[in-house]
Amino acid sequence: MSSFLRRNRWLVEPVIAVAFFVLWAIEVVGRHQIAPGSLHVTLPFWAALLLLAAAIAFSRLRPVLAMVAGAVALIGQLLFPTAIFDEPLVYSGYVIVILVIAATTHGRMHAVTLAFAIGSGLSVAGLLSWSLSIGHDNAWTRALFFILCTGAAGLGWLAGTLIGTWRRKRTSELELERATSALRAAKTEVVVAEERERIAQDVHDIMAHSLSVILAQADGARLLAEERPTAVVPSLATIASTARSSLTEVRVLIETLVGTPDGPGHPGMKDLEELVQRLSDAGLTITVERFGDAIDLTVAQQLAVYRIVQEGLTNALKHAGAGATVRLALDNRDDGIAVSIASRPANEVGDPAAPNPAGRGVIGMRERARLAGGWLDAGADDDVSGGFLVAAYIPANGRSEVTP
C-alpha cells in the first residue's frame, strides 16, 4: 500500500479536490439550483466553488496556478456578491490550499505563499463580515473576526512550512544514507582489492620459491642421472612434494591475484612466538594456549594464520590499549587449525570502542581466511565487558570449509 501511495502521490490533491467539490455541491445544490431564469445568480457561485476546488487540485503540482485560481475566486466574489459562499466552512478549502503550497514551495516562492495566505485570510474575513453582518455594530468584534480568519490562514501556512521542512530534511537524510552506503561499499571493495594485492605479493614469492626448488632439483637429477642413478630418486621425490604443495596452494587461491612483488618475507607458524613476544613487549599481556599436535599446513595457509594472529593482536593493542589482556588459542585438529583471539581492556570504564567488524583490518583478515579455504568471524565478546573476539578456521591441505 505504501509503495502504491508513493507511486501515485500526485493523485492525492486532485482526489481531495473532487471530494471537496462533490460534498459541498450536494450540501448547497438546493439553495443554488441551476435554472434558466437564475443563471446570472447561480453561475458565479458554482464558478467560485469550482475555482476553489481547482486550486486544491493544483496546489502541489502547480502552486502558482493554485494561488491564481484561489485569488480569482475571491476577486470574483468581491465583484459578484451572489458568488459568496453562504456556508462559511466552504472557505476552509483555502486552508488546504495554503497548507499544501507552503509544504511544496521554498526559497523566495515561500514568501509569496505567505503573502497569499495573509491576503486570503483578510479577503475571506472581509467577505464574510459583509455578507453575514459580523461586527457591523462593534469594531472590536470585527477586528477579532479578522484576526481569527487571518490567524487560521497563518496557522495553515506555518503547518505547511513545518511539514515541507521535515520532508526536505527526510529526503536529504535518505540521500545521505544512500550515498554513505554506496561509499561504504566502495571502500570495502577498495580494501579487499588492496588486501588481494598484498596477498598476491606473498603468493608470488611462495610460488617462486617452489618453482626454484623444482628447477634446481630437476637440473641436479638430469646431471646425475648417468653418473649416480640412485641420487635421482630423492630429487624426484623432492620435485613431486614441492609440485604437490604448489598445486594445493593454487587450488586454495582460486582467483588470479595480480600484484607487484617487492620480495617480502613469508612468516609461518614457527614465527608466532616471536610475534607474541614483540606484541607483549609493546604492552599486551598475552596468554598462548595450544591444543593438539602440529598439522601439515601449506606455506600459504601458515602465512594466513600468521597474518590473522598479527592483525588480531595489533587490533587489540590499538583499540584495547596497553595493559590489555589477550588469550590466543591455537587448536590443531586433524582437518585444520582453529584460531581464537579474545581481548579485553585493562579497565572496563572509559575504554576505547572495540574494533569495527566492518573495518579495514577485519575485512583483510576475513579475506585471507576465505582465500585459504576457511572462514573468519569477528565482533564484540558477549562474555566480557568491552572485549572483542576473533575466531577463524583454516583447513589443512587446501580443504574447503563452509563459513558458519
pLDDT of 354-385, one tens digit each?
455 555 578 878 888 888 889 999 988 877 77
Q: Which of 138-147, 195-204, 331-340, 388-397 has the lowest mean pLDDT?
A: 195-204
Alpha helices (runs of H) in 225-286, residue ranges in sequence order: 232-252, 272-281
Taking the C-alpha atoms of residue 183 and residue 180, their distance in angstroms, rounded to an integer, is 5
The secondary structure element, H or E, covering residue 333 is strand 325-333
Higher local confidence (pLDDT), 354 or 214: 214
Q: What angle do CA 314, 316, 321 make, to 5 degrees?
A: 105
CA distance to 70, 104, 112, 213, 281, per residue, from 163 (Å): 22, 9, 17, 74, 60
pLDDT at 323 exceeding the cut of 90: no
- Tell me the pTM: 0.51
The pLDDT score that the predictor gives to residue 24 is 85
Convert the pLDDT of each residue in 21-40 to its tens digit.
999 888 887 777 776 766 66
The pLDDT score that the predictor gives to residue 171 is 87
Grid cell digits, residue 393: 578456521
Question: Predicted confidence band at 75 (pLDDT cuts at 50, 70, 90)?
Answer: very high
Alpha helices (runs of H) in 254-403, residue ranges in sequence order: 272-281, 299-315, 360-371
Higher local confidence (pLDDT), 190 or 153: 153
Convert the pLDDT of each residue in 96-155 to its tens digit.
999 999 999 888 888 899 999 999 999 999 888 888 888 777 888 888 989 999 999 999
Cβ atoms of 199 and 368 within 8 Å: the answer is: yes
The pLDDT score that the predictor gives to residue 351 is 47
The pLDDT score that the predictor gives to residue 101 is 93
Mean pLDDT, rounded, of the chain: 79
Q: How many CB atoms lie within 10 A of CB 360?
A: 17
pLDDT at 59 exceeding the cut of 60: yes
Question: Predicted confidence band at 256 (pLDDT cuts at 50, 70, 90)?
Answer: very low
HSE (CB half, 13 Å, CA atoms) of 1? 0
Taking the C-alpha atoms of residue 37 and residue 302, their distance in angstroms, rounded to an integer, is 102
Taking the C-alpha atoms of residue 334 and residue 398, their distance in angstroms, rounded to an integer, is 13
Question: Predicted confidence band at 188 (pLDDT cuts at 50, 70, 90)?
Answer: confident
The pLDDT score that the predictor gives to residue 338 is 94
List all residues 6 or more positions away from 363 whose beta carbon is below 8 Å from its beta carbon: 188, 191, 192, 195
Structural domains of the chain in order of their starting residue, each with its CATH number: 2-178 (no CATH), 269-398 (3.30.565.10)
Higher local confidence (pLDDT), 206 or 131: 131
